[in-house]
Structure 1
């Protein structure tokens, strides 16, 4: 007879790791975001984005014709840093 024991916490940890890895891969599919994608990814309106961080010189952006584009990887890194800064301000 064969008996198999499964460590459920190890399985859950592996599932989380795999899901996280897949999400990172999916997130890198786009090279650039446009304003609509930036609003979707941040869950912020265009006016709020402009008030909060759009004019921050660290925020990567380029205007091509009449349209703004944001390099996806750099924009995401900036946004992660920006939200950490906002969290520190709330705590202080």
Structure 2
């Protein structure tokens, strides 16, 4: 029988580092995202985004006319921090 012990904190740290690296590799150089891009980037519906984090005071968002825009770099940072906090 094989027994494997995994340090959960170290595994999360490695996962987070790898995720950051991959995001940097695939991130398109956009200055801002619209709501459709935010949905695509998070793989969430608009309703889920509103329920989970849209009203969070630290989410950088701007409304021009009837359309929401999000600072791409700052929103990315916010989303990673939000996910880490949710994951515990």
Taking structure 2 as the reference length, the TM-score comes to: 0.72
Name the counterpart of 2:85: 85
Task: From the CA coordinates, give the structure whose radius of gyration is larger.
Answer: 1
Q: CA contact under 8 A between 1:28 and 1:72: conserved in structure 2?
A: no
Q: CA contact under 8 A between 1:28 and 1:73: conserved in structure 2?
A: no
Aligned length: 69
Name the counterpart of 1:3: none
Alignment of 1:1-92 (within 5 A): 20=21, 24=24, 26-88=26-88
Task: Name segments (4+ residues, structure 1) moved above 6 Å.
Answer: none
Taking structure 1 as the reference length, the TM-score comes to: 0.69
CA distance in 2, matches of 1:40, 1:53: 15
